[in-house]
Amino acid sequence: MEANLNEKAECTVIIRAAHDAMDVLNGKWKIPIIAVLCFSKKRYSELLNEIKGISGKMLSKELKDMELNLLLKRTVLSTQPITVQYELTEYGERLKVAIEQLAIWGTAYRKEISAK
């Protein structure tokens, strides 16, 4: 019963915490964006090119969302014409571990499912 209580408590905590995380990562594009930015900072147009299928509108929207959620930092460079750099914050960086685990699972899953 002690074990049962602990299980229940732990379960509830995980559910809520995972939900918090997914709330911040909602939508189709946030994980791909973070995955790209895990390796280096990028400009808007670089992201647009490297994330296949995303539209400019969605990229803008997602980037704005993530900036508000403190996942990434936006920097306007005074080049001519101006360019904008996006990079992960510490919060964003720390998501890398979770995303890697998802990717590891996804890789194995795809492989085994397709071998069916």
Contact positions vs its own copies (CB under 8 A): 7, 10-11, 13-22, 24, 31-32, 35-36, 38-40, 50-51, 70, 91, 94-95, 97-110, 112-113
How far apart are alpha carbons 61 and 10 in whole angstroms? Answer: 35
110 binds, among DNA, its own copies, none (CB under 5 to 8 A by kind): its own copies
Cα dihedral value 55, 58, 62, 65, nearest 10: 150
Q: Among 4, 40, 53, 78, which residue interacts with DNA (rule: CB under 7 A)? A: 53
Q: How far is the CB of 81 from its own copies (least distance, A)?
A: 26
Q: Which residues touch 116 (CB under 8 Å, ≥6 apart)? A: none
64 binds, among DNA, its own copies, none (CB under 5 to 8 A by kind): DNA
Return the H-helix or E-strand segment holding 5: helix 2-24
Q: How far is the CB of 48 from its own copies (least distance, A)?
A: 14
Q: Does 51 bind DNA (CB under 7 A)?
A: no
| Residue number with CB closer to its own copies (84 or 98) | 98
Q: How far is the CB of 56 from its own copies (least distance, A)?
A: 18
59-82 b/e (C-beta count within 10 Å ≥ 16 → b):
beebbebbeeeebbeeeeeeeeee
Rg for the chain, CA atoms, rounded: 18
